[in-house]
Amino acid sequence: MKTLVNHLAFRHTYQGLFLLLMIAIPNLALGMTTSYNNQTGLTFTSLESWGIIAVNLIIFYITYLWAKNEGLLTHFRLDRKDTKAILWGFVLIFLMGVIGSNLMLLTHTNYHAELQRTLTTTSILPVAISVMTTTFLQELLFRKLVCSWLAPYSIVTALVSTSLFFLFHMPTNLAHLFLYIGMGLALSMVYQKRENLSATISLHILWNIFTLGATILVMTNPM
């Protein structure tokens, strides 16, 4: 029994570290290139943009094959109940975002300053691809893996998953605090209610696309 526990602990640690590495690589590639361009006043070249896209697609493909081999992924599927869960999850995140946006006004902080800085020097496509790749990786880590480590469907598991997701994003103000707590809770509840990783990946991508679109709208139509 002790050997089995040690084996499972090693396997879970290995899986967690692998996913953290896969998350770090595309984020570092985009972040370092964006930082360099911001400092030099340059914009992304076509080569840099396609390089970022290539890195993300390679990471996605490697992780997809790895997750299938590890038994963490099955076929993508969504039914009507999944769609309903995605919609109420989106509403919950949106409401928490509204609270955060009001706090933003009170604290004079910018909701997505880093994303706005990235979009000033980067075309939309590599940013969108990076966002979707990271979303896929984060759901594997914070929903599938965490729920397989702990009791799969419990309040404790939802709170642990939410807390890790929140800490991973390192919110620097109250606006982000409310947003990431809301996201973590919504994603964890949808996963536990539907027992379907496809639903949480879809919800997470839907919210990130909404955020990306809203940020672009704000940048192109400043108040």
Residue pLDDT, tens place only, 17-37: 999 999 999 888 888 877 777
Matching residue, tokens 């911001």: 38
Tens-digit pLDDT profile for residues 178-209: 888 889 999 999 998 888 999 999 999 999 99
The residue that leads in pLDDT, 6 or 199, is 199
> Rounded CA gap, 93 and 194, in Å?
17
Instruction: Give the separation between CA 12 and CA 30, rounded to whole angstroms.
Output: 28
Do residues 188 and 162 lie in contact, with contact meaning Cβ atoms separated by under 8 Å?
A: yes
Mean pLDDT across the chain, nearest whole number?
A: 83
Residue 200 CB neighbour total at 10 angstroms:
28
Q: Which residue has the tokens 């997505």?
A: 112
* 131 and 221 Cβ atoms separated by less than 8 Å: no
Q: Structure pTM?
A: 0.86
The pLDDT, as a whole number, for residue 7 is 63
Distant-in-sequence, close-in-space partners of 18: CB < 8 Å, separation ≥ 6: 66
Asked which of 66-70, 74-78, 195-199 is least confident by mean pLDDT, the reply is 74-78
Q: What confidence tier does 111 reach under pLDDT thresholds 50, 70, 90?
A: low
